[in-house]
Structure 1
Amino acid sequence: MRTRSDVSSWLTDMDGVLVHEEKALPGAQDLIETWKKDETPFLVLTNNSIYTPRDLAARLQDSGLDVPEDRIWTSALATATFLKEQAAGGTAYVIGEAGIITALHEAGFVLTDRDPDFVVVGETRNYSFEAITTAIRLIDEGARFIATNPDPTGPSSEGIIPATGAITALITKATRKEPYVVGKPNPMMFRSALNKIGAHSENTGMIGDRMDTDIVAGMEAGLYTVLVLSGISSKDSVREFPFQANEMLDGVSQLLKPEKGSSKKK
């Protein structure tokens, strides 16, 4: 049975793990600095496909976290990587913002509404009836339907707002076609992240605050899983799931301490 001492590379969720309400959580910056100092391969993962890694690095900096942009892996980057493997030099019609548009451009895709290979739906604050109608018609005509992530809602200062999953549900209802979703909880996102840092599942850990995305996907990808209770999950909610994380901690600050039952600090 693996323990934390077996882990030499890390993947970590962002919201609820490293930051909460745009403020760094206790121990988050110390953990990042420890990984950088020890040259531990790591990536910060997010299902958010609105922002580019450069944008997110700047936002994290404002929150008190110094994370290099090349240590950030988004569902937009995972989607672009997957589509490049499927149809290098292909075409796509995109509903989304800078994160997915930039990722697809850098992957060599041409963005078009004329007979595209794929219709890609990502996060945006500017969904339009016209764009959704175009997507429905293109999928009906044979374009393959892709979503960056399944999240039905997202947070805002005024409350929840509809997100990628809500829009893909609308398109599915009209076309009777389900999208292939690349982001968490699809282990595909973790596999592409592992390839990014040249790591193997056997010696990589995943830190997350959600059982239904971070932990289940990490488990299915063969990673060592750490659930932190600084975000969505609580000790009571964890009992609802038929699977468990390898470790459950109050927050990432506890990862700076030796694992229980071990004299070895990782």
Structure 2
Amino acid sequence: MLASLTPAVQAAILDMDGVLWKDKQPLINLKEAFERFDALGIRVVLATNNSSRTVKEYQEKIASMGAQVDEEQIVTSSMAAAHVLQQRFPQGGPVYIMGADSLHQALEQAGFYHAEDNVLAVISGLDRTFSFEKLARATRLIRQGAFFMGTNPDTTFPTPNGLGPGAGSILAAIQTASEQTAVIAGKPSPTLYQMAMQRLGVSPQQTVSIGDRMETDILGGIRAGCRTALVLSGVTSRQILQTYDYQPDLVAEDLIHLLSA
């Protein structure tokens, strides 16, 4: 299917959750999928809105499922958040971080450190220790003028047991309490796509965005000027697909079918 697009696709920006796996359960044969990308001459960068793992942890997870990717082939919304903050506050400084260790690490590498008061920004990701106290502090800091950013707006993420609450559910609580809208670092904002295409050395016209979620993977790809392909192995069904006023270029049951002739 992917080979049917013209002009020919040279690069793919590939989502992970709902495309490669659901939690710890692989959805396809990863080794076979990457071999098919190679056979088609398509280079791949994995771009995820999930901020709860580091690049090394993603590499290890992919390796545990039988495939190998280089560090440069992975970009995350934590990295996008660090990039956006660096552009806004090049000097670095204190920020209030709600998220996993991977988000803390990405921000620390960019010159930012966690603080409870007098912060430049509040950054919200997938925080499995989210509490009313954290919500109250984030709300107060934003109302005091701190820049407000979310790693991603995904309200859910797919698991073998159904959909679980995503970073967007936490973000929604903070936005409601603070009465402020967050700047989004990950999809559907263009930052992750720009980072991926820069690494691949390609233009949007040469690139396809592949994912399972219409409002992030597909909308983000469209906004970035890329062609798009939806796989139905994650959160979007054919019935849900019909409710959107924008549509992907291709639709497939899963990634293997998308890479088939």
Normalised by the size of structure 1, how large is the TM-score? 0.85
Classify the secondary structure of the residue corresponding to 1:89: coil
Task: Check if 1:7 corresponds to 2:48.
Answer: no
In structure 2, how many angstroms separate the alpha carbons of the residues matched to 1:5 and 1:65? 28
In structure 1, how many angstroms separate the alpha carbons of the residues matched to 2:247 and 2:162? 30
Give the structure 1 partner of residue 140 of structure 2: 137
In structure 2, how many angstroms separate the alpha carbons of the residues matched to 1:44 and 1:84? 22
How does 1:140-179 map onto structure 2 within 5 Å?
Answer: 140-154=143-157, 160-179=163-182
How does 1:185-200 map onto structure 2 within 5 Å?
Answer: 185-200=188-203
Give the structure 1 partner of residue 50 of structure 2: 48
Normalised by the size of structure 2, how large is the TM-score? 0.87
In structure 2, how many angstroms separate the alpha carbons of the residues matched to 1:39 and 1:89? 41
> Structure 1, unaligned stretches of length 5 or more?
259-266
Classify the secondary structure of the residue corresponding to 1:6: coil
Contact 2:30 2:65 in 1 (8 A): no
Give the structure 2 partner of residue 210 of structure 1: 213
In structure 1, how many angstroms separate the alpha carbons of the residues matched to 2:33 and 2:159? 28
Give 1:218 shift: 0.7
Give 1:171 shift: 2.0
Give the structure 2 partner of residue 72 of structure 1: 74
Give the structure 2 partner of residue 108 of structure 1: 111
Give the structure 2 partner of residue 124 of structure 1: 127
In structure 2, how many angstroms separate the alpha carbons of the residues matched to 1:158 and 1:22? 11
> Structure 2, unaligned stretches of length 5 or more?
none
In structure 1, how many angstroms separate the alpha carbons of the residues matched to 2:157 and 2:191? 22
Q: Deviations over 1:39-84 (max 9, x none)?
A: 7432112111111111122122223333333311111111111111
Classify the secondary structure of the residue corresponding to 2:209: strand
Contact 1:97 1:123 in 2 (8 A): yes
In structure 1, how many angstroms separate the alpha carbons of the residues matched to 2:166 and 2:212? 19
Q: Identity over aligned residues, as a percent?
A: 33
Q: Deviations over 1:103-126 (max 9, x none)?
A: 111112233233211111111211
Contact 2:23 2:160 in 1 (8 A): no
Matched letter for residue 108 of structure 1: G
In structure 2, how many angstroms separate the alpha carbons of the residues matched to 1:3 and 1:113? 50
Q: Deviations over 1:135-160 (max 9, x none)?
A: 22211211111110112234567665
Give 1:89 shift: 2.6
Count of aligned pairs: 257
In structure 2, how many angstroms separate the alpha carbons of the residues matched to 1:94 and 1:110? 8
Matched letter for residue 209 of structure 2: M
In structure 2, how many angstroms separate the alpha carbons of the residues matched to 1:94 and 1:24? 30
Q: Deviations over 1:165-218 (max 9, x none)?
A: 222222222221111112222233322322233321111111112222211211
In structure 2, how many angstroms separate the alpha carbons of the residues matched to 1:31 and 1:119? 38
CA RMSD of aligned residues (A): 2.5
Contact 1:23 1:64 in 2 (8 A): no
Task: Check if 1:242 corresponds to 2:242.
Answer: no
Contact 2:205 2:226 in 1 (8 A): yes
In structure 1, how many angstroms separate the alpha carbons of the residues matched to 2:22 and 2:14? 14
